[in-house]
Protein backbone atom coordinates (compact mmCIF):
# COMPACT_ATOMS: atom_id res chain seq x y z
CA UNK A 1 0.00 0.00 0.00
CA UNK A 2 1.16 3.54 -0.72
CA UNK A 3 2.16 6.08 1.92
CA UNK A 4 -1.42 7.31 2.09
CA UNK A 5 -2.81 7.68 5.61
CA UNK A 6 -6.41 6.72 6.26
CA UNK A 7 -8.62 8.45 8.81
CA UNK A 8 -11.93 6.77 9.58
CA UNK A 9 -14.65 8.95 11.03
CA UNK A 10 -17.38 7.16 12.96
CA UNK A 11 -20.30 8.50 14.95
CA UNK A 12 -22.05 7.46 18.13
CA UNK A 13 -24.92 8.35 20.50
CA UNK A 14 -27.08 10.07 17.90
CA UNK A 15 -27.25 10.67 14.17
CA UNK A 16 -26.97 14.12 12.58
CA UNK A 17 -24.08 15.19 14.80
CA UNK A 18 -22.21 16.54 11.80
CA UNK A 19 -19.73 13.82 10.89
CA UNK A 20 -19.64 15.24 7.39
CA UNK A 21 -18.67 18.69 8.64
CA UNK A 22 -16.07 17.29 11.04
CA UNK A 23 -14.61 15.17 8.23
CA UNK A 24 -14.56 18.19 5.91
CA UNK A 25 -12.97 20.34 8.63
CA UNK A 26 -10.21 17.81 9.32
CA UNK A 27 -9.64 17.70 5.57
CA UNK A 28 -9.50 21.47 5.36
CA UNK A 29 -6.97 21.73 8.18
CA UNK A 30 -4.67 19.04 6.78
CA UNK A 31 -4.93 20.68 3.38
CA UNK A 32 -4.00 24.03 4.94
CA UNK A 33 -0.84 22.35 6.24
CA UNK A 34 0.14 21.42 2.71
CA UNK A 35 -1.16 17.86 2.47
CA UNK A 36 -3.29 16.52 -0.35
CA UNK A 37 -6.58 15.22 0.99
CA UNK A 38 -9.71 13.55 -0.27
CA UNK A 39 -12.84 12.57 1.64
CA UNK A 40 -14.96 9.51 1.04
CA UNK A 41 -18.40 8.57 2.29
CA UNK A 42 -19.51 5.01 3.01
CA UNK A 43 -23.30 4.85 3.12
CA UNK A 44 -24.88 1.80 4.73
CA UNK A 45 -28.05 1.58 2.64
CA UNK A 46 -28.76 -0.91 -0.15
CA UNK A 47 -29.47 1.61 -2.88
CA UNK A 48 -26.62 1.52 -5.40
CA UNK A 49 -26.53 5.32 -5.08
CA UNK A 50 -28.92 7.98 -3.73
CA UNK A 51 -29.97 8.90 -7.28
CA UNK A 52 -33.19 6.95 -6.93
CA UNK A 53 -33.99 8.41 -3.50
CA UNK A 54 -36.64 11.03 -3.03
CA UNK A 55 -35.25 14.20 -1.34
CA UNK A 56 -37.59 13.56 1.62
CA UNK A 57 -35.47 10.50 2.37
CA UNK A 58 -31.94 11.84 2.20
CA UNK A 59 -32.03 15.45 1.10
CA UNK A 60 -30.34 16.59 -2.05
CA UNK A 61 -28.62 14.24 -4.45
CA UNK A 62 -25.21 15.72 -5.17
CA UNK A 63 -23.62 15.19 -8.58
CA UNK A 64 -19.87 14.93 -9.15
CA UNK A 65 -18.02 16.08 -12.25
CA UNK A 66 -17.66 12.47 -13.43
CA UNK A 67 -21.41 11.97 -13.17
CA UNK A 68 -21.87 10.10 -9.89
CA UNK A 69 -25.11 10.70 -8.01
CA UNK A 70 -24.01 10.89 -4.39
CA UNK A 71 -24.86 11.73 -0.82
CA UNK A 72 -25.09 15.43 -0.03
CA UNK A 73 -22.05 15.19 2.25
CA UNK A 74 -19.88 15.08 -0.86
CA UNK A 75 -21.08 18.61 -1.48
CA UNK A 76 -19.64 19.64 1.88
CA UNK A 77 -16.36 17.94 1.04
CA UNK A 78 -16.06 19.88 -2.20
CA UNK A 79 -17.21 23.16 -0.68
CA UNK A 80 -14.59 22.86 2.07
CA UNK A 81 -11.66 21.41 0.11
CA UNK A 82 -12.35 23.26 -3.14
CA UNK A 83 -11.37 20.06 -4.92
CA UNK A 84 -13.56 17.75 -7.00
CA UNK A 85 -14.72 14.38 -5.73
CA UNK A 86 -15.47 11.44 -8.02
CA UNK A 87 -17.50 8.24 -8.11
CA UNK A 88 -14.85 6.58 -5.93
CA UNK A 89 -15.63 9.01 -3.09
CA UNK A 90 -19.15 7.66 -2.67
CA UNK A 91 -19.74 4.01 -1.82
CA UNK A 92 -22.94 2.36 -0.62
CA UNK A 93 -23.61 -1.09 0.76
CA UNK A 94 -25.68 -1.66 -2.37
CA UNK A 95 -22.68 -0.99 -4.63
CA UNK A 96 -20.43 -3.26 -2.55
CA UNK A 97 -22.91 -6.15 -2.67
CA UNK A 98 -23.56 -5.65 -6.37
CA UNK A 99 -19.82 -5.87 -7.13
CA UNK A 100 -19.42 -9.02 -5.04
CA UNK A 101 -22.51 -10.69 -6.51
CA UNK A 102 -21.38 -9.84 -10.05
CA UNK A 103 -18.04 -11.50 -9.29
CA UNK A 104 -19.84 -14.54 -7.92
CA UNK A 105 -21.95 -14.82 -11.07
CA UNK A 106 -18.82 -14.61 -13.21
CA UNK A 107 -17.40 -17.52 -11.24
CA UNK A 108 -14.51 -15.45 -9.86
CA UNK A 109 -14.71 -17.11 -6.45
CA UNK A 110 -13.94 -20.56 -7.88
CA UNK A 111 -16.57 -22.45 -5.96
CA UNK A 112 -15.93 -20.86 -2.58
CA UNK A 113 -18.77 -19.94 -0.23
CA UNK A 114 -19.23 -16.17 -0.59
CA UNK A 115 -19.55 -14.47 2.79
CA UNK A 116 -19.69 -11.08 4.48
CA UNK A 117 -16.27 -11.79 5.90
CA UNK A 118 -13.99 -11.90 3.96
CA UNK A 119 -15.68 -11.14 0.62
CA UNK A 120 -17.79 -8.12 1.49
CA UNK A 121 -15.15 -6.66 3.80
CA UNK A 122 -12.45 -7.24 1.15
CA UNK A 123 -14.56 -5.39 -1.38
CA UNK A 124 -15.04 -2.52 1.11
CA UNK A 125 -11.28 -2.33 1.71
CA UNK A 126 -10.66 -2.35 -2.04
CA UNK A 127 -13.08 0.57 -2.42
CA UNK A 128 -11.46 2.53 0.40
CA UNK A 129 -8.02 2.16 -1.17
CA UNK A 130 -9.38 2.86 -4.63
CA UNK A 131 -9.88 6.59 -3.84
CA UNK A 132 -6.15 7.05 -3.66
CA UNK A 133 -4.96 4.98 -6.59
CA UNK A 134 -5.51 7.03 -9.74
CA UNK A 135 -4.45 10.14 -7.91
CA UNK A 136 -2.40 9.58 -4.77
CA UNK A 137 -3.42 11.54 -1.72
CA UNK A 138 -1.51 12.06 1.52
CA UNK A 139 -4.72 11.53 3.46
CA UNK A 140 -7.95 9.74 2.74
CA UNK A 141 -10.69 10.59 5.22
CA UNK A 142 -13.44 7.98 5.16
CA UNK A 143 -16.70 8.93 6.82
CA UNK A 144 -18.67 5.87 7.84
CA UNK A 145 -22.39 6.66 7.63
CA UNK A 146 -24.80 5.71 10.41
CA UNK A 147 -24.14 5.33 14.11
CA UNK A 148 -22.02 2.63 15.80
CA UNK A 149 -24.24 -0.18 16.90
CA UNK A 150 -26.32 -0.09 13.71
CA UNK A 151 -26.42 -3.55 12.16
CA UNK A 152 -26.10 -1.96 8.73
CA UNK A 153 -22.73 -0.28 9.18
CA UNK A 154 -21.00 -3.22 10.90
CA UNK A 155 -19.23 -4.52 7.76
CA UNK A 156 -17.81 -1.04 7.11
CA UNK A 157 -16.44 -0.79 10.64
CA UNK A 158 -15.07 -4.32 10.43
CA UNK A 159 -13.32 -3.54 7.14
CA UNK A 160 -11.80 -0.38 8.64
CA UNK A 161 -10.69 -2.35 11.71
CA UNK A 162 -8.94 -4.87 9.44
CA UNK A 163 -7.23 -2.07 7.54
CA UNK A 164 -5.85 -0.59 10.74
CA UNK A 165 -4.54 -4.02 11.70
CA UNK A 166 -3.04 -4.72 8.28
CA UNK A 167 -1.44 -1.32 7.80
CA UNK A 168 -0.02 -0.40 11.13
CA UNK A 169 0.60 3.29 11.65
CA UNK A 170 -1.30 4.25 8.51
CA UNK A 171 -4.87 4.24 9.84
CA UNK A 172 -6.69 6.07 12.59
CA UNK A 173 -10.19 6.31 14.03
CA UNK A 174 -11.85 9.59 14.94
CA UNK A 175 -15.11 9.00 16.79
CA UNK A 176 -17.74 11.74 17.08
CA UNK A 177 -20.23 11.61 19.94
CA UNK A 178 -22.63 13.85 21.79
CA UNK A 179 -22.45 15.13 25.36
CA UNK A 180 -25.96 16.18 26.41
CA UNK A 181 -26.55 19.01 28.85
CA UNK A 182 -29.20 18.35 31.46
CA UNK A 183 -30.69 21.72 32.28
CA UNK A 184 -32.48 20.44 35.41
CA UNK A 185 -29.23 19.43 37.09
CA UNK A 186 -27.05 21.89 35.18
CA UNK A 187 -24.71 19.08 34.17
CA UNK A 188 -23.03 17.75 31.05
CA UNK A 189 -23.41 14.00 30.80
CA UNK A 190 -20.63 11.82 29.45
CA UNK A 191 -22.23 8.41 29.96
CA UNK A 192 -23.65 8.15 26.42
CA UNK A 193 -20.14 8.79 25.08
CA UNK A 194 -18.67 6.11 27.31
CA UNK A 195 -21.31 3.66 26.12
CA UNK A 196 -20.78 4.48 22.51
CA UNK A 197 -17.01 3.97 22.82
CA UNK A 198 -17.69 0.65 24.57
CA UNK A 199 -19.83 -0.33 21.61
CA UNK A 200 -17.04 0.58 19.25
CA UNK A 201 -14.59 -1.42 21.38
CA UNK A 202 -16.88 -4.44 21.06
CA UNK A 203 -16.26 -4.31 17.32
CA UNK A 204 -12.53 -4.32 18.01
CA UNK A 205 -11.96 -0.66 17.33
CA UNK A 206 -10.17 1.61 19.78
CA UNK A 207 -10.76 5.20 18.72
CA UNK A 208 -7.63 7.36 18.59
CA UNK A 209 -9.40 10.70 18.84
CA UNK A 210 -12.77 11.60 20.32
CA UNK A 211 -14.70 14.62 19.16
CA UNK A 212 -17.52 15.58 21.51
CA UNK A 213 -20.42 17.64 20.25
CA UNK A 214 -21.72 19.84 23.05
CA UNK A 215 -23.70 23.00 23.57
CA UNK A 216 -21.66 24.04 26.64
CA UNK A 217 -17.90 24.22 27.05
CA UNK A 218 -16.23 21.03 28.33
CA UNK A 219 -14.02 21.46 31.37
CA UNK A 220 -10.60 19.90 31.53
CA UNK A 221 -12.01 17.53 34.15
CA UNK A 222 -14.66 16.23 31.80
CA UNK A 223 -12.13 15.67 29.05
CA UNK A 224 -9.87 13.83 31.49
CA UNK A 225 -12.74 11.70 32.73
CA UNK A 226 -13.87 10.76 29.22
CA UNK A 227 -10.29 10.03 28.25
CA UNK A 228 -9.78 7.79 31.25
CA UNK A 229 -12.91 5.74 30.61
CA UNK A 230 -12.20 5.45 26.90
CA UNK A 231 -8.41 4.80 26.94
CA UNK A 232 -7.63 8.11 25.28
CA UNK A 233 -5.28 10.83 26.48
CA UNK A 234 -7.24 13.97 27.32
CA UNK A 235 -5.33 15.90 24.65
CA UNK A 236 -7.11 13.75 22.08
CA UNK A 237 -10.55 14.52 23.51
CA UNK A 238 -11.73 17.41 21.39
CA UNK A 239 -14.61 19.75 22.13
CA UNK A 240 -16.91 20.55 19.21
CA UNK A 241 -19.25 23.24 20.46
CA UNK A 242 -22.38 24.23 18.54
CA UNK A 243 -21.53 27.14 16.25
CA UNK A 244 -23.68 29.54 14.29
CA UNK A 245 -22.17 28.51 10.95
CA UNK A 246 -20.67 25.25 9.71
CA UNK A 247 -17.88 27.28 8.11
CA UNK A 248 -16.55 28.25 11.54
CA UNK A 249 -15.96 24.58 12.42
CA UNK A 250 -12.46 24.32 10.85
CA UNK A 251 -11.41 27.43 12.80
CA UNK A 252 -12.73 25.96 16.05
CA UNK A 253 -11.07 22.61 15.34
CA UNK A 254 -7.79 24.39 14.66
CA UNK A 255 -8.06 26.12 18.04
CA UNK A 256 -8.82 22.77 19.65
CA UNK A 257 -5.76 21.24 17.98
CA UNK A 258 -7.63 18.46 16.19
CA UNK A 259 -5.30 18.47 13.19
CA UNK A 260 -2.19 18.67 15.36
CA UNK A 261 -3.22 15.65 17.41
CA UNK A 262 -3.93 13.65 14.25
CA UNK A 263 -0.50 14.49 12.85
CA UNK A 264 1.18 13.59 16.17
CA UNK A 265 -0.60 10.25 16.27
CA UNK A 266 0.63 9.52 12.77
CA UNK A 267 4.11 10.56 13.95
CA UNK A 268 4.21 13.36 11.42
CA UNK A 269 5.74 16.76 12.11
CA UNK A 270 3.12 19.23 13.30
CA UNK A 271 4.90 22.31 11.98
CA UNK A 272 3.60 25.84 11.99
CA UNK A 273 -0.06 26.54 12.70
CA UNK A 274 -1.74 27.59 9.44
CA UNK A 275 -3.37 31.04 9.41
CA UNK A 276 -6.32 29.60 7.49
CA UNK A 277 -6.56 32.66 5.29
CA UNK A 278 -8.56 33.40 3.12
CA UNK A 279 -11.07 31.06 4.82
CA UNK A 280 -11.02 33.23 7.93
CA UNK A 281 -11.85 36.34 5.91
CA UNK A 282 -14.77 34.52 4.32
CA UNK A 283 -16.17 33.56 7.75
CA UNK A 284 -15.74 37.16 8.95
CA UNK A 285 -17.58 38.53 5.93
CA UNK A 286 -20.29 35.90 6.21
CA UNK A 287 -20.86 36.73 9.87
CA UNK A 288 -20.76 40.51 9.45
CA UNK A 289 -22.73 41.39 6.33
CA UNK A 290 -23.08 45.05 5.40
CA UNK A 291 -26.41 44.58 3.63
CA UNK A 292 -29.23 42.09 3.29
CA UNK A 293 -31.49 41.08 0.46
CA UNK A 294 -34.46 38.74 0.34
CA UNK A 295 -34.73 36.22 -2.46
CA UNK A 296 -37.50 33.69 -3.06
CA UNK A 297 -36.57 30.05 -3.52
CA UNK A 298 -39.54 28.40 -5.18
CA UNK A 299 -39.63 24.62 -4.93
CA UNK A 300 -41.70 21.76 -3.65
CA UNK A 301 -39.38 20.50 -0.92
CA UNK A 302 -39.04 23.78 0.94
CA UNK A 303 -40.02 22.36 4.32
CA UNK A 304 -36.76 20.44 4.16
CA UNK A 305 -33.73 22.65 3.62
CA UNK A 306 -31.44 19.67 2.91
CA UNK A 307 -33.26 19.18 -0.38
CA UNK A 308 -31.70 22.43 -1.68
CA UNK A 309 -28.43 22.23 0.26
CA UNK A 310 -26.07 23.18 -2.55
CA UNK A 311 -28.26 26.09 -3.68
CA UNK A 312 -28.50 27.43 -0.13
CA UNK A 313 -24.73 27.14 0.37
CA UNK A 314 -24.07 28.80 -2.99
CA UNK A 315 -25.94 31.86 -1.71
CA UNK A 316 -23.78 31.82 1.42
CA UNK A 317 -20.54 31.74 -0.60
CA UNK A 318 -21.55 34.38 -3.13
CA UNK A 319 -23.28 36.47 -0.45
CA UNK A 320 -20.08 36.64 1.62
CA UNK A 321 -18.13 37.90 -1.40
CA UNK A 322 -20.62 40.76 -1.70
CA UNK A 323 -20.77 41.16 2.10
CA UNK A 324 -24.47 40.57 1.76
CA UNK A 325 -26.70 38.30 3.79
CA UNK A 326 -29.18 36.59 1.52
CA UNK A 327 -32.43 35.84 3.28
CA UNK A 328 -34.02 32.98 1.41
CA UNK A 329 -37.79 33.04 1.55
CA UNK A 330 -38.76 29.44 0.94
CA UNK A 331 -41.92 29.34 -1.15
CA UNK A 332 -43.80 26.10 -1.51
CA UNK A 333 -44.69 25.95 -5.21
CA UNK A 334 -47.87 24.01 -4.46
CA UNK A 335 -49.21 26.99 -2.53
CA UNK A 336 -48.30 29.63 -5.11
CA UNK A 337 -51.17 30.88 -7.28
CA UNK A 338 -51.93 33.86 -9.49
CA UNK A 339 -54.15 35.17 -6.68
CA UNK A 340 -51.48 35.15 -3.98
CA UNK A 341 -48.28 35.62 -5.97
CA UNK A 342 -48.03 39.36 -5.24
CA UNK A 343 -48.45 38.69 -1.56
CA UNK A 344 -45.94 35.83 -1.55
CA UNK A 345 -43.25 37.27 -3.83
CA UNK A 346 -43.88 41.00 -3.47
CA UNK A 347 -41.20 41.45 -0.80
CA UNK A 348 -38.55 39.46 -2.70
CA UNK A 349 -35.85 41.12 -4.79
CA UNK A 350 -35.11 38.03 -6.83
CA UNK A 351 -36.83 34.74 -7.69
CA UNK A 352 -35.08 31.40 -8.06
CA UNK A 353 -37.08 28.47 -9.40
CA UNK A 354 -35.51 25.25 -8.20
CA UNK A 355 -34.72 21.95 -9.89
CA UNK A 356 -37.15 19.06 -9.52
CA UNK A 357 -38.96 16.12 -11.02
CA UNK A 358 -42.57 15.37 -11.85
CA UNK A 359 -45.64 17.54 -12.16
CA UNK A 360 -46.45 18.13 -8.49
CA UNK A 361 -46.13 21.82 -7.72
CA UNK A 362 -45.14 22.77 -11.24
CA UNK A 363 -48.01 25.19 -11.86
CA UNK A 364 -46.81 27.36 -8.96
CA UNK A 365 -43.43 27.48 -10.64
CA UNK A 366 -45.00 28.83 -13.84
CA UNK A 367 -46.71 31.51 -11.75
CA UNK A 368 -43.37 32.47 -10.17
CA UNK A 369 -41.66 32.74 -13.57
CA UNK A 370 -44.45 34.87 -15.01
CA UNK A 371 -44.39 37.19 -12.03
CA UNK A 372 -40.62 37.70 -12.26
CA UNK A 373 -40.67 38.09 -16.03
CA UNK A 374 -43.51 40.61 -16.15
CA UNK A 375 -42.36 42.66 -13.17
CA UNK A 376 -38.67 42.83 -14.11
CA UNK A 377 -37.69 40.98 -10.93
CA UNK A 378 -34.30 39.22 -11.31
CA UNK A 379 -34.99 35.60 -12.24
CA UNK A 380 -32.77 32.57 -11.99
CA UNK A 381 -34.04 29.18 -13.21
CA UNK A 382 -32.09 26.01 -12.57
CA UNK A 383 -32.76 22.78 -14.48
CA UNK A 384 -36.52 22.23 -14.02
CA UNK A 385 -36.56 25.97 -13.23
CA UNK A 386 -35.19 26.65 -16.71
CA UNK A 387 -37.70 24.29 -18.26
CA UNK A 388 -40.54 26.08 -16.43
CA UNK A 389 -39.27 29.41 -17.77
CA UNK A 390 -39.43 28.00 -21.30
CA UNK A 391 -42.94 26.59 -20.88
CA UNK A 392 -44.20 29.81 -19.29
CA UNK A 393 -42.77 31.85 -22.18
CA UNK A 394 -44.38 29.54 -24.74
CA UNK A 395 -47.74 29.81 -23.03
CA UNK A 396 -47.87 33.49 -22.23
CA UNK A 397 -45.69 35.12 -24.88
CA UNK A 398 -45.92 32.77 -27.88
CA UNK A 399 -49.57 32.12 -27.07
CA UNK A 400 -49.31 28.32 -26.97
CA UNK A 401 -51.64 27.85 -24.06
CA UNK A 402 -51.13 24.11 -23.98
CA UNK A 403 -47.35 24.18 -24.26
CA UNK A 404 -45.64 21.93 -21.77
CA UNK A 405 -42.73 19.67 -21.02
CA UNK A 406 -43.46 16.09 -22.07
CA UNK A 407 -42.44 15.15 -18.53
CA UNK A 408 -45.66 16.83 -17.35
CA UNK A 409 -47.90 16.00 -20.32
CA UNK A 410 -46.76 13.42 -22.81
CA UNK A 411 -49.44 14.45 -25.29
CA UNK A 412 -48.96 18.21 -25.28
CA UNK A 413 -49.38 19.68 -28.79
CA UNK A 414 -46.46 22.03 -28.05
CA UNK A 415 -43.63 19.99 -26.52
CA UNK A 416 -41.25 22.92 -25.98
CA UNK A 417 -39.34 20.75 -23.49
CA UNK A 418 -38.97 17.18 -24.66
CA UNK A 419 -37.26 13.99 -23.63
CA UNK A 420 -33.68 13.77 -24.94
CA UNK A 421 -33.27 11.44 -27.89
CA UNK A 422 -30.88 9.10 -26.06
CA UNK A 423 -33.28 8.87 -23.09
CA UNK A 424 -36.13 7.42 -25.14
CA UNK A 425 -35.21 3.76 -24.75
CA UNK A 426 -34.13 4.05 -21.13
CA UNK A 427 -36.00 1.70 -18.82
CA UNK A 428 -33.81 1.64 -15.71
CA UNK A 429 -34.14 4.69 -13.48
CA UNK A 430 -30.82 4.48 -11.60
CA UNK A 431 -27.81 6.31 -13.00
CA UNK A 432 -29.32 6.73 -16.46
CA UNK A 433 -29.92 10.49 -16.66
CA UNK A 434 -27.61 12.90 -18.43
CA UNK A 435 -25.17 13.16 -15.57
CA UNK A 436 -22.00 15.02 -14.70
CA UNK A 437 -19.92 17.70 -16.36
CA UNK A 438 -20.58 18.73 -19.96
CA UNK A 439 -19.03 21.57 -21.95
CA UNK A 440 -21.11 24.58 -22.85
CA UNK A 441 -20.23 27.33 -25.31
CA UNK A 442 -21.53 30.77 -24.42
CA UNK A 443 -22.43 33.37 -27.03
CA UNK A 444 -20.35 36.51 -26.67
CA UNK A 445 -23.30 38.87 -26.87
CA UNK A 446 -25.00 37.69 -23.73
CA UNK A 447 -25.42 38.44 -20.07
CA UNK A 448 -23.94 35.07 -19.13
CA UNK A 449 -20.77 35.85 -21.11
CA UNK A 450 -20.40 39.08 -19.11
CA UNK A 451 -20.83 37.05 -15.94
CA UNK A 452 -18.52 34.13 -16.75
CA UNK A 453 -16.05 36.28 -18.73
CA UNK A 454 -15.37 33.30 -20.95
CA UNK A 455 -17.09 31.43 -23.77
CA UNK A 456 -16.14 27.92 -22.64
CA UNK A 457 -17.47 26.48 -19.45
CA UNK A 458 -18.13 23.05 -17.99
CA UNK A 459 -21.13 22.60 -15.71
CA UNK A 460 -22.80 19.58 -14.14
CA UNK A 461 -26.10 18.11 -15.26
CA UNK A 462 -28.79 15.80 -13.98
CA UNK A 463 -31.83 15.56 -16.24
CA UNK A 464 -33.67 13.65 -18.96
CA UNK A 465 -35.52 16.49 -20.71
CA UNK A 466 -34.21 19.34 -22.82
CA UNK A 467 -35.23 22.41 -24.77
CA UNK A 468 -36.84 21.39 -28.08
CA UNK A 469 -34.76 23.07 -30.79
CA UNK A 470 -37.71 22.98 -33.22
CA UNK A 471 -39.07 26.00 -31.38
CA UNK A 472 -35.82 27.93 -31.07
CA UNK A 473 -36.42 30.38 -33.89
CA UNK A 474 -39.85 31.30 -32.57
CA UNK A 475 -38.53 31.84 -29.07
CA UNK A 476 -35.68 34.02 -30.28
CA UNK A 477 -37.96 36.13 -32.46
CA UNK A 478 -40.18 36.74 -29.45
CA UNK A 479 -37.26 37.72 -27.20
CA UNK A 480 -36.08 34.63 -25.36
CA UNK A 481 -32.60 33.78 -26.60
CA UNK A 482 -30.49 30.65 -26.28
CA UNK A 483 -27.04 31.89 -25.25
CA UNK A 484 -25.33 28.63 -24.31
CA UNK A 485 -25.09 25.37 -26.27
CA UNK A 486 -23.40 22.06 -25.85
CA UNK A 487 -20.85 22.23 -28.71
CA UNK A 488 -21.11 18.49 -29.44
CA UNK A 489 -24.85 17.88 -29.30
CA UNK A 490 -26.27 21.36 -29.82
CA UNK A 491 -28.45 21.01 -26.72
CA UNK A 492 -29.57 24.38 -25.38
CA UNK A 493 -28.01 24.94 -21.95
CA UNK A 494 -28.78 28.62 -21.26
CA UNK A 495 -31.77 30.83 -22.03
CA UNK A 496 -31.96 34.57 -21.44
CA UNK A 497 -34.41 37.40 -21.99
CA UNK A 498 -32.22 40.37 -23.00
CA UNK A 499 -35.04 42.90 -22.58
CA UNK A 500 -35.39 41.90 -18.93
CA UNK A 501 -32.86 43.32 -16.41
CA UNK A 502 -31.72 39.84 -15.26
CA UNK A 503 -33.37 36.71 -16.56
CA UNK A 504 -31.08 33.68 -16.70
CA UNK A 505 -32.29 30.10 -16.99
CA UNK A 506 -29.80 27.26 -17.09
CA UNK A 507 -30.27 23.57 -17.83
CA UNK A 508 -27.26 22.68 -15.66
CA UNK A 509 -26.70 22.90 -11.91
CA UNK A 510 -24.24 25.70 -11.12
CA UNK A 511 -24.79 25.09 -7.40
CA UNK A 512 -22.71 21.89 -7.45
CA UNK A 513 -19.64 23.89 -8.36
CA UNK A 514 -19.80 26.67 -5.79
CA UNK A 515 -17.22 26.47 -3.00
CA UNK A 516 -16.14 28.76 -0.17
CA UNK A 517 -13.03 29.84 -2.00
CA UNK A 518 -14.62 29.86 -5.46
CA UNK A 519 -18.20 31.15 -5.22
CA UNK A 520 -20.15 30.65 -8.42
CA UNK A 521 -20.27 33.72 -10.69
CA UNK A 522 -23.95 33.17 -11.58
CA UNK A 523 -24.97 33.30 -7.92
CA UNK A 524 -22.82 36.35 -7.35
CA UNK A 525 -24.34 38.13 -10.35
CA UNK A 526 -27.87 37.12 -9.34
CA UNK A 527 -27.43 38.55 -5.84
CA UNK A 528 -25.90 41.67 -7.41
CA UNK A 529 -28.98 42.02 -9.63
CA UNK A 530 -31.28 41.55 -6.63
CA UNK A 531 -29.42 44.29 -4.75
CA UNK A 532 -29.71 46.61 -7.76
CA UNK A 533 -33.42 45.84 -8.03
CA UNK A 534 -33.88 46.51 -4.30
CA UNK A 535 -32.28 49.94 -4.68
CA UNK A 536 -34.57 50.85 -7.55
CA UNK A 537 -37.81 49.58 -6.04
Residues that bind ligand GLN (CB under 6 A): 355-357, 383-384, 407, 462-465
- Between residues 62 and 526, which has the closer beta carbon with respect to ligand GLN? 62
Give the burial class of 248: count Cβ atoms within 10 A of its Cβ; 0-12 exposed, 13-18 middle, 19 or more buried: middle
Would you say the C-alpha torsion 240, 222, 257, 169 has a positive or negative sign? negative
Least distance between ligand GLN and beta carbon 251 (Å): 34
Least distance between ligand GLN and beta carbon 418 (Å): 10
Q: Measure the N-to-C terminal CA separation of the chain; round to a whole number of Å.
A: 63
Least distance between ligand GLN and beta carbon 317 (Å): 21
Of residues 441, 423, 408, 484, the one with CA closest to residue 392: 408
Q: Is 511 a catalytic residue?
A: yes
227 vs 369: CA distance, rounded Å:
57
Least distance between ligand GLN and beta carbon 50 (Å): 14
- Between residues 426 and 517, which has the closer beta carbon with respect to ligand GLN? 426
- Between residues 33 and 463, which has the closer beta carbon with respect to ligand GLN? 463
What are the two backbone dihedrals, phi and then psi, of residue 347, each rounded to the nearest 5 degrees?
Answer: -95, 15
136 vs 38: CA distance, rounded Å:
9
- Cβ atoms of 451 and 440 within 8 Å: the answer is no
Least distance between ligand GLN and beta carbon 332 (Å): 17
- Cβ atoms of 375 and 388 within 8 Å: the answer is no
Q: Is 383 a catalytic residue?
A: yes
- Between residues 180 and 299, which has the closer beta carbon with respect to ligand GLN? 299
- Residue 282, classed as helix, strand or coil, is helix
- Residue 177, classed as helix, strand or coil, is strand
Least distance between ligand GLN and beta carbon 75 (Å): 15
Bridge partner list, 474 = none
Residue 375 CA: distances (Å) to CA of 294, 348, 371, 448: 16, 12, 6, 21
Tally of CB atoms within 10 A around 390: 26
- Between residues 266 and 357, which has the closer beta carbon with respect to ligand GLN? 357
What are the two backbone dihedrals, phi and then psi, of residue 230, each rounded to the nearest 5 degrees?
Answer: -110, 15
Least distance between ligand GLN and beta carbon 462 (Å): 5
> Which among 175, 509, 520, 524 is annotated as catalytic?
509
- Between residues 322 and 394, which has the closer beta carbon with respect to ligand GLN? 394
Residue 61 CA: distances (Å) to CA of 54, 235, 486, 506: 9, 37, 23, 18
- Between residues 81 and 354, which has the closer beta carbon with respect to ligand GLN? 354
Q: Which H helix or E strand runs over 37?
A: strand 37-43
385 vs 362: CA distance, rounded Å:
9
Q: Is 461 a catalytic residue?
A: no
> Which among 230, 324, 383, 440 is annotated as catalytic?
383
- Cβ atoms of 504 and 423 within 8 Å: the answer is no
> Which among 60, 158, 511, 524 is annotated as catalytic?
511
Least distance between ligand GLN and beta carbon 455 (Å): 25
* Cα-based angle 82, 156, 515 (whole degrees, multiple of 5): 10
- Between residues 161 and 464, which has the closer beta carbon with respect to ligand GLN? 464
Q: Which residues are catalytic?
A: 383, 509, 511
Amino acid sequence: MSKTKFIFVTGGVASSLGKGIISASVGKLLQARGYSVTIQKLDPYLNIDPGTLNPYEHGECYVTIDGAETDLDLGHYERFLNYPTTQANSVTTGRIYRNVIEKERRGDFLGKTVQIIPHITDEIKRNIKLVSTKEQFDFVITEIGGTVGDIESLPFIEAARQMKWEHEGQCMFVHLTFVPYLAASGELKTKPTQHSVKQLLETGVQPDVLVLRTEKPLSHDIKRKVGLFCNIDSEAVIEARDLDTIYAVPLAMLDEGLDAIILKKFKLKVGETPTLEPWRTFVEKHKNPKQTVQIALVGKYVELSDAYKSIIESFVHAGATLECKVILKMIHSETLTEENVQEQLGDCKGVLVAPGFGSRGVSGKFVAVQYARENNVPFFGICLGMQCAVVEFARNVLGYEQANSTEMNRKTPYPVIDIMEDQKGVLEMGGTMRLGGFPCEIKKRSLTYKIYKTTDIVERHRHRYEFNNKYLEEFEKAGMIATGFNPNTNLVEIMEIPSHPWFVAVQFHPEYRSTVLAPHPLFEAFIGAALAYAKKS
